[in-house]
Structure 1
Amino acid sequence: MDPFSLNLAEAEPDAATARFHDIQMQGLPYVEVEREFRDVRLLASGWYTKIFLARQRFREDKLVLKCIQKGTTSKEDFFREFHYSYQLSQHPNIVKSFYSPFVTRTSYVFTEEVAPCGDLSQYLRRGGIGEAASKRVAEQVSAALAFMHSKGLVHRDVTPENILVFDSQLHVVKLSDFGSTRRAGEGEDLAAGGPVAAWTPPEVRQAGGEAICMGPWQDAWALGVLLFTCLTGRPPWSAAHISDPHYRWWAAWATHSARRPPHKFRCFTPRLLRLLRHLLHPLPEKRCVTDVAKYLSYPWLVHGADPYQAAVEDALRDPIDAQNTKPRGVTLFKAAEKKVREALRSHLCYGNSPQKPHRKTVRFDDTPDDNTPYQVTGCSDKEPSPPTISRKFTPICDLSSFDFTPYDMSLPYDTDTFDFIHYEDSGSSYESYDYEDSSDFTYV
């Protein structure tokens, strides 16, 4: 009987009698696509797979034809992907596959439902997709992964390209592409399959292509990277390796070796940081996908924060030593100067006074002396030169009592009469500020 003379759904066998992991090798009917389908159009093409949109010759329903090249895939691998795709279709957040595999002159083919809105990668614009949409994606993808893990399977390729979108508001998304799916506990050369770069867990990179045991912790890692990408529009690092300074700092914080998370994570609330620590922990045994549902009711983004801007600013910062998370060299004093500017801006203002206060200029003399704190000396209105903040003077306190970290810096200064007006860079020799005039003074 012609396999396409019936409704595809009617040709399905009794799923209740099929063993989930019993992959049956069977003969495949030969089909000429041009005779059985019409309106065939290429949707996507990869190294060994091509995706076509088509209609059956005598039906109006649209189908997706997933064509896997014979020259790059064995028949056994094809049946494994088709078997898992079909058996997992019962979950509402996994793309539905029909029981209608066949073979053409060059490919093994099976059919799937159509995702009318493409895949998730098309929605990741500047700044991500927003907190509400990210939560919807997280809830549905984590549910699909939890279902797979309950069946003893690991997806191993959770990326935006493999998450299909069924409505533009991301209320319905489905996990797809089970070509890399394997049973948990199997050992395999993971360098030969699965995601690459930022999506690859650190234990896979450290294996150096050797076979390691597969488990749900790999999908948990990919889900954590996916959440960060949905919220910010870009992955958190280039590669999960100690050579990447962004991952090195994250790993130090996740293992409680650093007090503060990386800069690009500052736009996230403590609840989301706790979730990401569970998903992106450097140790595989500490990762868990099922934790996602517990955090959906809490805010994920700090009010008013720009996740994309935080990620961009972090990419422009100097490399960070992950062991102590302190800037190197002269970056220490540059960060201290920035902290002073932020303190002046946040604590001092004109208030409601209609009169513009009298101002003097304070200068930062860039004379290098890395072991002395700042000191401010004042002058009266009649003095010809403005007061200066200089690094060249006798130390008046021990710098070891201050904690110079990227997030917790302190300097001995008094802000009672300072009023920050503006900042202007008038050259490499100094930076200028304004302050309110009260009297001659010397502040330390």
Structure 2
Amino acid sequence: VRYAYVRQVNLAEEFDILQIVGEGWFGKILLAEHRATDTEMVLKALPKPYTAARDFYREFHYSLHLGAHRNIITTYDVAFETAGFYVFSQEYAPLGDLTSNVSETGIGELHSKRVAKQLASALDHLHARELVHRDVKLDNVLVLKSDFSRVKLCDFGETRRAGTLVRRRNEWLPYSPPEVLLTNTDETYKAETSHDVWQFGIVTFVCLTGCLPWQKAGSDDPRYVRYLHWHGSNGVLMPVRRPKLFKLLTSKAQRMFRKFLEPRPDKRPGGLADLAKFLEDRWLTKTSLDRQTDNSPEDEGLCPSMYSFHSSLEEKNKLLFTLTQYGIETTVDRSAKKTRIEDWIQASVIAEAPEEEEEEDEMEEEERQKERKAMEGKRENRNKIDKESPADTSRPSSHRNGQGED
């Protein structure tokens, strides 16, 4: 990883912030225009309190050098820091990521194959350099053309060299391979290219069906347990019913997913070269094609939620009712939310006090301290004078000669 000096920049002076593209615990993604060149670009701002300098340089380094591939987001050789953030710039994908483009019935077989082919090419590019992305998901595949003829892999914050020991943190459960989920939080495991293959399988499955195959590749997820039983059967001596979602796929597509979503890591391929064998095959059955044009009541409950674990509509409604009973807002004012985010950015990223103002503040503070000392001196003199002056004899006393009145 290359370490280099990054200059200090005041965002407000060099960029016009046009839009907040994304935000989360990782930082902010801002669409900005560089004033000097009139160039529109994305700024990825990583908060210093949560980002070590080494992690920032690593992500910037990988993003910059991998971006030469046509299916990996282009990163510009522009990096700097502000008072609270490390920042680097990338090209803008106006159509967003796959999450915002995949409908509840998927994107169709043709488009899914286009995405799969390009994503596999990007991952092969990483794997040839002995790198593991480790965070392949819908959110990290950007769409640059509406017909999905150009998609690009992004976000290399979790990328590591194959074989590196990494600590398990907050992996996104639906995409995590089973061997990673078996690792306890804060324990280490080896980053392997087969992890990317598993995540590639999940992304492709969602593109085809519009559904996650399961919420978690663990023994506490009934959908995954059913898949395990089906995957382990040979279909002859021990026939097991196919999981519902896999009935939407042709036998050849099922064979492909059984290969990429192999629960045993030592049996799962470490690359995606085998994808080419399946690209000419049909992936979706006629039943699934009918489902794309006519959503029947039978489809309700077919797909697990894309965003929550073991949730159902009934559970969500109960939760919303309980929150409402206690006077807690359950709807989001998007305009107010956007205003709050803009205020946050203005305060923590853009607004950086000039040195002249800081010097003026220091001078004002010194003047106030001098005034306080002068006031304290006057009080001390006044108290000293009061102590030295004779007592007031006109004031009646309740004691004479040491004795009180009877």
Instruction: Tell me, yes or no, whether TM beats 0.5.
Output: yes
Q: Secondary structure at the match of 1:286?
A: coil
1:263-295 Cα deviation digits (max 9, x unpaired): 220110111111101111101122232222221
SS for the counterpart of 2:88 is strand
| Alignment partners' CA distance in 2, 1:148 and 1:315 | 31
Indicate the SS of the match to 1:266: helix
CA distance, structure 2, for counterparts of residue 39 and residue 218 of structure 1: 37
CA distance in 2, matches of 1:311, 1:110: 44
Partners of 1:156 and 1:218 within 8 A in 2: yes
* Residue 300 of structure 1, aligned match among 283, 290, 298: 283
Provide the secondary structure at the position in 1 that maps to 2:7.
Answer: coil
* 1:200 aligned onto 2:188: no
- Residue pairs, 1:374-389, within 5 angstroms: none
The match for 1:63 is: 41
Distance 1:302 1:54, change over 3 A: same
Deviation track 1:200-226 (CA, whole Å, cap 9, x = no partner) reads 110011112321111111111111111
Whole-Å separation in 2 of the counterparts to 1:173 and 1:24: 28
Gaps of 5+ in 1: 1-22, 317-444
Q: Which amino acid aligns with 1:200?
A: S
Contact 1:255 1:281 in 2 (8 A): no
2:111–2:147 contact (8 Å) kept in structure 1 = yes
Aligned residue number for residue 230 of structure 1: 207
SS in 2 for 1:76: helix
> Structure 1 residue 173 and structure 2 residue 156: aligned?
no
Q: 1:231, CA displacement in angstroms? A: 1.4
Secondary structure of the structure 1 residue equivalent to 2:208: helix
Query: 1:285-296, aligned counterparts within 5 Å?
Result: 285-288=266-269, 289-296=272-279
Deviation at 1:314, TM superposition (A): 4.8
Identify the range of structure 1 (145-154 vs 298-307) with the bigger mean alpha-carbon deviation. Answer: 298-307
Counterpart Cα distance in 1 of 2:25 and 2:134: 17
Task: Give, in whole Å, the separation in 2 of the partners of 1:312 and 1:242.
Answer: 24
The one-letter code of the counterpart of 1:237 is W
| Distance in 1 separating the partners of 2:66 and 2:257 | 27
Q: Is the 8 A contact 1:53 1:65 kept in 2?
A: yes
Distance 1:24 1:315 in 2: 44
Per the TM alignment, residue 100 of structure 1 is displaced from its structure 2 partner at its CA by: 1.3
Measure how far apart 1:252 and its partner are.
Answer: 1.9
How far, CA to CA, are the matches of 1:94 and 1:290 in structure 2? 18
**Structure 1 residues 419-438: Cα deviation after superposition (integer angstroms, max 9, x where no partner):** xxxxxxxxxxxxxxxxxxxx
The number of aligned residues is 292
**How far did residue 42 of structure 1 move?**
1.6
Query: What are structure 2's unaligned runs of at least 5 residues?
Result: 305-406
Residues 342-401 of structure 1, C-alpha deviation per residue, up to 9 Å, x if partnerless?
A: xxxxxxxxxxxxxxxxxxxxxxxxxxxxxxxxxxxxxxxxxxxxxxxxxxxxxxxxxxxx
Q: TM-score, normalised by structure 2?
A: 0.69
Higher relative contact order by CA 8 Å / sep ≥ 6: 1 or 2? 2
Q: Deviations over 1:161-187 (max 9, x none)?
A: 111110111110000000011110011
TM value normalised by structure 1: 0.63
Partners of 2:278 and 2:155 in 1: CA distance: 27
Would you say the 8 A contact 2:143–2:151 is kept in 1? yes
The counterpart of 2:122, out of the listed 138, 144, 149, is: 144
Structure-2 separation of matches of 1:278 and 1:311: 26
1:87 aligned partner:
65
Instruction: Pick the aligned partner of 1:189 from 167, 170, 173.
Output: 167
Match of residue 125, structure 1, among 70, 80, 103: 103
Residues 1:38 and 2:46 aligned together:
no
Contact 2:211 2:303 in 1 (8 A): no
Aligned partner of residue 291 in structure 1, secondary structure: helix
**Separation of aligned partners in 2, 1:238 and 1:181:** 23
> Matched residue of 2:207: which SS?
helix
How far 1:27 moved relative to its partner? Answer: 1.7
**What does residue 10 of structure 1 align with?**
none
Q: Which has the larger radius of gyration?
A: 2
| Residue 67 to residue 198, structure 1, CA distance change in 2 (3 Å) | same
Shift of 1:255: 2.6
1:134–1:227 contact (8 Å) kept in structure 2: yes
Find the counterpart in structure 2 of residue 266 from structure 1. Answer: 247
* Contact 1:232–1:311 (CA under 8 A) maintained in structure 2: no
